[in-house]
Structure 1
Amino acid sequence: MEDCIIIGGGPAGLTAALYLARFLRRVTVFDAGAGRARMIPKTHNLGPFPDGISGKELLDRMRAHAELYGARIENATVEAVQKQGDLFRVTADRRTETARFVIFASGVVNHRPPLSASDHDRGVAQGLIRYCPVCDAYEIRDKRVAVLGNGAHGLAEARFVRDYSPTVTLIPPEGIPARARDGIGALDAPMKGLALTDSQVVVTLEDGQTHHFDTLYVALGTSAHSELAGSLGVGLGDAGCIIGDAKLKTSIDGVYAIGDITDGLDQIAHAMGQAAVAATAIHNALPGTPRE
């Protein structure tokens, strides 16, 4: 039996695994391999990597670090979580394991623009498609930027990016032309199509016009991977994110949530801090003697 099973192998889950392993606790991470962090071409706001580090390299390093201290990390998708008394039964790839505590670090999925999967992934790798201005708006200084998003969220993201570039254009996805405001441009016809060249994003309008941008920020929102938590009765917020207290404990005893699955700043550094808090709280709550 495990002291803790962690669902999700992103920065939050791997940090929690590292802490628990160094607390001499038995910990297993189930990683479906679909996290957003792995697609980051290079992050520059996470120390100590002044030259930046790719999401893949970061995760590979974090995984090796946790395994060095005894964490078990499995490439598997969790299918069910059940509470039985004071314990939890977690089924992943048709194999069931038991744990005293569960941490949900399952993250969220981005709502993508209308591009094929291959074009989308190429665009992200080249910096043509971006999702996080807090992460990388510094890299688009003075470039021609489009923001694909509707409502308050799209406008807020465009305003944020406007601090870095004088040329920002808001593109609503629902076919209604946006209104120029606050130094943010707007297209005068609905968007018809989206394409990528080797170095630009090309937006085609229904009236035949084309517009070229150096990068496109996608502000279409996310969906939380919280279905399993919800099936346990864990409290969820309006956007499906898991609600936790100051120590990231949810409404169900023994269940914690960390990282982007919680309602907060979607940043690697923030997720890692949450992981440290939750892992320490679990260690302090666990009975008995840690593994030898």
Structure 2
Amino acid sequence: MLDCVIVGGGPAGLNAALVLGRARRKVVLFDNNSPRNAVTNESHGFITRDGIKPSEFRKIAHYDIGKYPSVMIRNEKISDIKKRGMIFDLVTDEGECIQAKKVILATGLKEIHPSVEKLMDYYGKSLFSCPYCDGWELKDRPLIVLSEHPAVFHMVKIVYNWSKNLIVCTNGQKVLTLEQKEVLQRKGIKIFEQKIKTLVGENGLLEAVIFEDDQIEKISGGFVTPEWIQASSFGKSLGCEVNQLGGFITDELGRTNIEGIYAAGDTSVIAPSQVIIAAAQGSRAAIGVNSDLTQEEFN
């Protein structure tokens, strides 16, 4: 019987494994190695690790965790989780059943991007989702802020900190109010509500956006606001409550409304999505797990 199974090997799951390993808990972390940031060349905003490649971050994390013999990392996928009393039965894709007292869901999110031709050719290279992660590298360039959602107004105001040379594109969606348009126009920010035909550039570097009316605007990078959805259905099937953004509702130690289920990282935070925040959430959930196991041992 395991003390805890961690589902997901991103920063949240890795940091949770580290903390639980140091607490001498018997843990298995399942990671099928399909991270959302696979297209990202560098991760930023994590002190001592600013600019690190995600693959290098993962390698260092595995080395750190490897110092604690009670933790095992398995490169497998969990296909099902069921609660049976106070025990959880987890089934791998290979059909193996594993039992644990606690489960940390750190499966992260999936992104649904606007339907724009060639968008993914540039995503992670010159088109990003988080200005706090990648704004510095794009500072003072002519940029696009692309979004089909009302969140575009907030995003463009944030991006304005890094570049004043901005265009806003809503890809055919009327998501800006008249008042918001007036605010942006006073700042010299152009607004394009027509559909986008395609993005243009070479080797992942954006050069221009072409609209369906054949208007062309030159740019050299930008930001897009995708929709976020849970990467797995485990939380929903277990009955975990979610907030308005779709993230799992947790207390200060990562506990969901389902006893024994904890959530960490993007799974619970949704936004802002940063490595350092996800790692902190993993640490928090691990402390929650250890605290509850300890309490149960003394009851």
The unaligned stretches of length 5 or more in structure 2 are none
1:157-193 CA distances to partner (integer Å, 9 max, x unpaired)?
1111011111111111335597464222212643222
In the other structure, the counterpart of 2:82 is 82
The structure-2 alpha-carbon separation of the partners of 1:4 and 1:279, relative to structure 1 and needing over 3 Å to count, comes to: same
In the other structure, the counterpart of 1:9 is 9
Question: What SS does structure 2 have at the residue aligned with 1:273?
Answer: helix
Question: What SS does structure 1 have at the residue aligned with 2:110?
Answer: strand
Deviates more, 1:9-18 or 1:174-183: 174-183
CA distance in 2, matches of 1:107, 1:226: 8
The structure-2 alpha-carbon separation of the partners of 1:258 and 1:281, relative to structure 1 and needing over 3 Å to count, comes to: same
In the other structure, the counterpart of 2:292 is 285
Correspondence 1:259-278 to 2 at 5 A: 259-263=265-269, 264-278=271-285
Pairwise CA distance, 1:197: 2.0
Superposed CA RMSD in Å reads: 2.3
In the other structure, the counterpart of 1:109 is 110
TM-score, length-scaled by structure 2: 0.87
**8 A contact 1:180–1:186 mirrored in 2:** no
- Identical-residue share of aligned pairs (%): 27
The structure-2 alpha-carbon separation of the partners of 1:282 and 1:79, relative to structure 1 and needing over 3 Å to count, comes to: same
**2:225 counterpart (207, 219, 222):** 219
In the other structure, the counterpart of 1:193 is 198
CA distance in 1, matches of 2:170, 2:291: 49
In the other structure, the counterpart of 1:41 is 41
TM-score, length-scaled by structure 1: 0.89
Please say if 1:140 is aligned against 2:166: no
**8 A contact 2:248–2:263 mirrored in 1:** yes
**8 A contact 1:171–1:177 mirrored in 2:** no
The structure-2 alpha-carbon separation of the partners of 1:234 and 1:34, relative to structure 1 and needing over 3 Å to count, comes to: same
CA distance in 2, matches of 1:9, 1:253: 22
**8 A contact 2:248–2:256 mirrored in 1:** yes
Correspondence 1:146-157 to 2 at 5 A: 146-157=144-155
The structure-2 alpha-carbon separation of the partners of 1:177 and 1:82, relative to structure 1 and needing over 3 Å to count, comes to: closer
1:108-133 CA distances to partner (integer Å, 9 max, x unpaired)?
1122244678x72x5245x3121111
Question: What SS does structure 1 have at the residue aligned with 2:151?
Answer: helix
The structure-2 alpha-carbon separation of the partners of 1:193 and 1:175, relative to structure 1 and needing over 3 Å to count, comes to: farther
Pairwise CA distance, 1:239: 2.9
Amino acid at match of 1:273: A
Pairwise CA distance, 1:284: 2.3
